[in-house]
C-alpha cells in the first residue's frame, strides 16, 4: 500500500525541497543586495547621495537631556504616518549591559521586522564584532554643560510633564537642595569624575577603554561617529536636525518638521526642567575645563553637522 504511493511521496519531498531552497536563496540574495549597497554607503558617511529607501534598520541610541523625549514623540507619530516599526526599549537604566545581555540585544535588534527604528539609552554597540551587519545609527547631542545642568535639576525636580513621578529616589540630607555651583566648586562626586564623562561613551561604545576619560576613548568615539552614524544632530538646532533627517531618511522622517511645529510649544513647556539656577562664571569655567574632552567631541560633531547641513544639503544654518 505504502509502496504504491512511494514515488508520489518522493516526488512531493523533492518539490518541497526545491521550494524551500528557492525561498532561502531569495532571502539571502536580497540580504546580499542590501549589504553591498550598505557597504558602499559606509565609505561615504554623512553623504547626501544615500539611497534612503534601502535603509531598513535604524538605531537611535538616545542620550538623556538632549531632546530625546521630543524626538521620540515625533518618531512615534511618524511611524504611523510613514509605516515603519518603532521600538522603544523598556530598559532605561543600563547603558552598558553584561556580555550575554549585549548579545541578546544584538539578536533582538537584528530580528525586528523591518523597516524599523529602535531606540534605547545605550552606549554604541559594534554589531560587526558580533558577526552582524551594522544598522544605521542616528543621535542628537547638546552643549555638554547645558546637558549636565539640565540633568542635575531634572534628577531633583523632574519637569512639567513628568513631575516627580518617575524620580522617586532617596536623597540624603540636603543632597536634593544642593546648589550646583557648590557641587562643582567643591568637587562633589556628583559634579566630577565619571559624572562629567557622559556623551563620549555613548559613541565610544561598550569597550572598557570607553569608561576611561581620555584621548583613546575620544578618538574611538569620533571614529564611530564618522563610520557608523548617518546623522548626529544638535539640540541647539533641533528643527534643522529634523530637516536633515527628512532629507537623509525620507522614508522614515518625511513630515517631521510639520509634526514638530504642531507639538513644539507644548513639548518645550512639558520638558522644560524646573527650578534651574544659572551657573556662576566661576563654576562654568571649572566645568568647562573638566569637560574639555566632552567639548572636543561636541565641537567635532557640530562641525560635521554644519558641514552636512549647509554644504552637502544646501540648507541654511
Where does this chain bind ligand NAG (CB under 6 A)? 93-94, 187, 189, 192-193, 262, 265
CA gyration radius, the chain: 23
Least distance to ligand NAG from the beta carbon of 190, Å? 9
Q: Mapping DSSP to helix (H, G, I), strand (E, B) and coil, where does residue 81 land?
A: helix
First to last CA, the chain: 81
Least distance to ligand NAG from the beta carbon of 240, Å? 18
Least distance to ligand NAG from the beta carbon of 91, Å? 7
Angle (deg, nearest 10), helices 215-228 and 292-306: 20
Name the residue number minimizing CB distance to ligand NAG.
193
Residue in this structure with the C-alpha cell 561636541, named with its chain if needed? 298
For residues 293 and 218, the answer to whether their CB atoms sit within 8 Å is: yes
Query: Residue 54, Cβ neighbours under 10 Å: how many?
Result: 13
Least distance to ligand NAG from the beta carbon of 125, Å? 17
Catalytic site residues?
Answer: 121
Element (H, E) at 117: strand 116-119
CA-CA distances (angstroms) from residue 71 to 42, 74, 139?
25, 5, 10
Closer residue to ligand NAG, CB minimum distance, 126 or 192: 192
Least distance to ligand NAG from the beta carbon of 192, Å? 4
Least distance to ligand NAG from the beta carbon of 93, Å? 4
Q: What is the β-pairing status of strands 229-234 and 57-60?
A: unpaired
CA nearest neighbour of 55 among 84, 94, 20, 77:
84
Closer residue to ligand NAG, CB minimum distance, 38 or 198: 198
CA-CA distances (angstroms) from residue 76 to 166, 228, 292?
21, 23, 35
CA nearest neighbour of 39 among 25, 51, 28:
51
Amino acid at each position: 500500500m505504502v509502496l504504491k504511493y512511494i514515488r508520489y511521496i518522493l516526488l512531493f519531498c523533492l518539490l518541497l525541497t526545491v521550494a524551500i531552497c528557492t525561498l532561502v536563496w531569495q532571502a539571502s540574495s536580497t540580504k546580499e543586495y542590501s549589504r553591498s549597497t550598505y557597504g558602499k554607503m559606509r565609505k561615504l558617511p554623512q553623504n547626501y547621495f544615500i539611497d534612503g529607501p534601502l535603509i531598513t534598520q535604524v538605531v537611535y541610541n538616545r542620550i538623556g537631556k538632549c531632546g530625546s523625549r521630543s524626538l521620540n514623540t515625533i518618531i512615534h507619530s511618524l511611524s504611523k504616518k510613514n509605516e515603519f516599526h518603532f521600538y522603544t526599549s523598556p530598559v532605561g537604566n543600563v547603558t552598558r549591559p553584561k556580555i550575554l545581555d549585549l548579545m541578546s540585544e544584538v539578536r533582538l535588534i537584528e530580528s525586528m521586522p523591518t523597516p524599523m527604528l529602535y531606540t534605547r539609552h545605550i552606549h554604541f554597540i559594534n554589531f560587526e564584532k558580533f558577526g552582524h551587519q551594522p544598522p544605521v545609527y542616528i543621535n542628537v547631542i547638546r552643549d555638554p554643560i547645558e546637558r549636565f545642568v539640565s540633568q542635575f535639576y531634572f534628577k531633583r525636580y523632574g519637569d512639567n510633564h513628568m513631575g516627580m513621578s518617575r524620580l522617586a529616589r532617596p536623597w540624603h540630607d540636603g543632597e536634593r537642595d544642593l546648589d550646583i555651583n557648590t557641587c562643582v566648586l567643591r568637587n562633589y562626586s556628583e559634579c566630577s569624575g565619571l559624572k562629567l564623562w557622559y556623551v563620549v561613551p555613548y559613541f565610544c561604545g561598550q569597550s572598557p577603554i570607553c569608561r576611561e576619560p581620555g584621548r583613546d576613548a575620544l578618538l574611538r568615539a569620533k571614529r564611530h561617529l564618522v563610520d557608523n552614524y548617518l546623522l548626529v544632530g544638535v539640540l541647539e538646532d533641533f528643527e534643522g536636525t529634523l530637516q536633515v533627517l527628512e532629507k537623509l531618511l525620507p522614508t522614515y522622517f518625511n513630515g517631521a518638521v510639520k509634526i514638530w511645529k504642531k507639538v513644539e510649544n507644548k513639548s518645550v513647556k512639558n520638558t522644560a526642567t524646573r527650578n534651574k539656577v544659572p551657573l556662576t562664571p566661576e563654576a562654568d569655567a571649572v566645568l568647562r575645563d573638566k569637560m574639555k574632552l566632552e567639548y572636543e567631541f561636541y565641537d567635532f560633531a557640530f562641525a560635521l553637522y554644519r558641514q552636512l547641513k549647509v554644504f552637502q544639503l544646501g540648507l541654511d544654518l
